[in-house]
């Protein structure tokens, strides 16, 4: 079933979550170990992230450096197929611009269609670590909206080769990302909102937000979206804090604020177990308020670890 149909057919807030593919060389069992404890909450869908290839320089015996392509977390498409086969739960693969040409994107979408996967979450993706800004693949997409338009064209039976005859259109439900605290590259919030609306106007059917720790920022974001004419479902993304280091790491990587009340409580903790308890308690409070406001689903960023998500879900679902 499509994500949008899950949302339309439910009168209650749904439960969903996101997982990471295991590192290259690791077994898929780690995926199952992260999913199994959360099955009791009847997840409507499970997102699987995609990690683009990167490049490292390795020394060779002749003293020269060789540029080598590495991809530390392959397997998004295979994991989605495994989830649907093993659990009969809809899987949502992330598709990104970085590392894909338009031809490779089309081939990936065809593979997904053949596997019966009819949901995608479309993102531009991050820049490679040694790049100061995002650089698209040759003949690739610069922005998420360009990727979105390609998927919409396929849904309308428009392939890159316009000489194909009797083509079968795809039927993807398209989700996109939203940023309650503004995408860090946007010059201002209104500009960010304008580009988000452009994605909805181009065919995106729902929004999943970046993680946040202040519900007011989410509610204000929804109000601003509605005022701008964005009327699709908006799913809040939640991630419980589990370590002291995340107080600096999360704002640095994801460009989000940690409320003073939360950071002060964590500062007083003597070990990470107490910090986990604080993170769960905060997450429970967030989720109860979100459910009271009848959000369509709560989407947990588990990072492959289900313990704290399960603790929160037990208290609110």
Nearest to 129 by CA among 19, 20, 253, 249: 253
**What is the spatial distance between Cα 228 and Cα 241, in angstroms, rounded to a whole number?**
32
**What is the spatial distance between Cα 146 and Cα 153, in angstroms, rounded to a whole number?**
11
Does the annotation count 18 as an active-site position? yes
Sign of CA dihedral 50, 191, 3, 234: positive
**Which residue is catalytic, options 12, 18, 54, 66?**
18
**What is the spatial distance between Cα 78 and Cα 44, in angstroms, rounded to a whole number?**
19
CA 247 distance to own-chain centroid: 21
Give the phi and the psi of residue 121 in degrees, each rounded to 5.
-110, 120
Is residue 297 within 8 Å of 15, Cβ to Cβ? Answer: yes
Residue 231 token pair: 């009327």
Q: Output 27-36 pairs: Cβ under 8 A, ≥24 positions apart.
A: 28/75, 28/78, 28/79, 28/82, 30/304, 31/79, 31/82, 31/83, 31/304, 32/86, 33/306, 34/302, 34/304, 34/305, 34/306, 35/83, 35/87, 35/306, 36/306
Sign of CA dihedral 302, 308, 314, 316: negative
Q: What is the dihedral of CA 195, 18, 147, 160, to 10 degrees?
A: -160
DSSP state of 230: -
Which active-site residues does the annotation give?
18
């Amino acid at each position: 079933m499509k994500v949008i149909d899950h949302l339309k057919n439910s009168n209650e807030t749904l439960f969903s979550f996101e997982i990471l593919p295991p590192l290259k060389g690791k077994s898929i069992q780690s995926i199952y170990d992260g999913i199994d404890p959360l099955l009791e909450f009847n997840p409507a869908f499970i997102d699987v992230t995609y990690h683009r290839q990167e490049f490292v320089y390795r020394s060779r015996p002749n003293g020269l450096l060789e540029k080598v392509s590495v991809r530390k977390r392959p397997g998004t498409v295979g994991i989605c197929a495994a989830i649907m086969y093993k659990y009969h739960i809809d899987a949502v693969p992330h598709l990104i611009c970085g590392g894909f040409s338009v031809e490779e994107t089309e081939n990936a979408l065809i593979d997904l269609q053949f596997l019966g996967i009819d949901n995608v979450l479309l993102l531009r993706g991050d820049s490679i670590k040694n790049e100061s800004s995002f650089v698209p693949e040759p003949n690739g997409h610069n922005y998420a909206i360009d990727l979105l338009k390609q998927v919409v064209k396929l849904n309308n039976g428009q392939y890159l080769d316009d000489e194909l005859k009797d083509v079968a259109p795809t039927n993807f439900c398209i989700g996109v990302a939203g940023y309650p605290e503004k995408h860090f590259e946007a010059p201002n919030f209104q500009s960010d909102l304008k580009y988000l609306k452009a994605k909805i106007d181009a065919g995106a059917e729902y929004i999943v937000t970046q993680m946040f720790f202040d519900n007011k920022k989410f509610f204000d974001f929804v109000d601003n979206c509605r005022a701008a004419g964005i009327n699709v479902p908006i799913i809040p993304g939640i991630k419980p804090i589990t370590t002291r280091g995340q107080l600096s790491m999360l704002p640095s990587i994801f460009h989000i604020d940690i409320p003073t009340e939360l950071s002060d409580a964590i500062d007083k903790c003597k070990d990470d177990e107490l910090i986990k308890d604080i993170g769960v308690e905060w997450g429970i409070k967030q989720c109860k308020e979100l459910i009271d406001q009848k959000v369509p689903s709560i989407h947990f960023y588990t990072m492959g670890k289900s313990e704290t998500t399960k603790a929160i879900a037990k208290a609110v679902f």
